[in-house]
Amino acid sequence: MSKIPVAVLGATGTVGQKFIVLLQNHPNFEIRELVASERSAGKGYAEVCSWKQNEFIPDSVRGMTVKSTDDPLESRILFSGLDSSVAGPIEENYASAGHIVISNSKNHRMDANVPLVIPEINHQHFDLTKKQPYKGAIITNSNCSTMFLAMVLAPIHLAFGVELVQVTTMQAITGAGYPGVPSIDILGNVVPYIGGEEDKLESEPQKILGTLQDDRILPAPFKISAQCNRVPVFDGHTETLSLKLKNKVGPAEVAKVLASFRGYPQEHHLPSAPEQPILVLTEPDRPQPARDVWKNGGMSALVGRIRECSVLDLKMVILGHNTVRGAAGAAVLNAETYIDLGYLEE
């Protein structure tokens, strides 16, 4: 089968670069076009990109001429790593022109007719694209911190019913993009504020875990209280989580449910899908970003220290790779699932 041509929007940014790394040898996709700002357009990619990945720029894109967001594109599927300050109307324009925009940006996540998808959890929500006013479609993945929280909440909520969530995040500096947080602010420090982050963490999981009914999403009924912090860690968002459950169970039962969780990507052996979307670690001091974040290529959520909570019912620590499963990798898996379900052919 010939590969599907794809474009990367915001190709010079941190998420755009990660898209290029993840797509360079993909069995189904071939990068055909790179799109960035007007100041980069018309130049070779290597000339305009301040490359920050831990491998060389792939030869296949090094000399590729960068296009602007005003240029027409040939690729059917567009992976968007555009900054949220510009992403909204650009993504709408491309969707109106017939492209399938798989977006990592926040702009359309909470739109009523746009699916906010983690395919292990809610691939049925892709049906919302049929109700969009575009020749193409817009599909979103969640905020990076939401990703790991929702992945862990989903099987617990399905099995036992979640009533209340309290979560505190310790988020890596790569979550702020490049150049990110000034060194004088983050070195030896914790910054207890990330603009807009707590709102996302308190609302996005309810849409993801909600029910598709009559062409709209009925949000999951539980409440979330979130506190978000930036910490001097390079990759990996750590979250401490406390839960109140409808059906009271012990840590061992929850650990078993999490470890056995599988979804559509695993059942259909999609290229980017980790064999285990959730890894339960039993060591008393894990997970740790420096030691665990790259397990399963950064595509799994990691959970440890599952134990009883003296205030609610259970508490635990979760971790995930913020620019892989929390960003570009999530969008690639969304595209794989969307195509595998046959939506591209409709």
CB 171 within 8 A of CB 229: yes
CA distance 277 to 78: 25
User: Is 220 in contact with 149 (CB distance < 8 Å)?
Assistant: no
144 belongs to the catalytic site: yes
Single-letter code of the amino acid located at 84: S
> How far out from the chain centre does Cα 77 lie?
17
237 is catalytic: yes
Catalytic residue among 99, 125, 157, 237: 237
Rounded to whole angstroms, the Cα distance separating 3 from 15 reads: 22
**Helix, coil or strand: residue 114:** coil
Are 224 and 205 in contact by the 8 Å Cβ rule? The answer is: yes
Contact 200, 148 (CB under 8 A): no
Q: Report the alpha-carbon distance of residue 337 to residue 346 in Å, rounded.
A: 14
Residue of 99, 123, 144, 157 with catalytic role:
144
CA–CA separation, 169 and 174 (whole Å): 14
For residues 123 and 141, the answer to whether their CB atoms sit within 8 Å is no
Instruction: Give the Å distances, CA to CA, from 121 to 142, 172, 292, 312.
Output: 12, 25, 23, 25
H runs (alpha helix) in 9-143: 14-23, 45-48, 59-62, 84-96, 119-122
Residue of 60, 122, 131 lying closest to 95 (CA atoms): 131
Cα separation, 123 vs 147, whole angstroms: 14
Residue found under tokens 């929702």? 150
Catalytic residues, which ones?
Answer: 144, 237
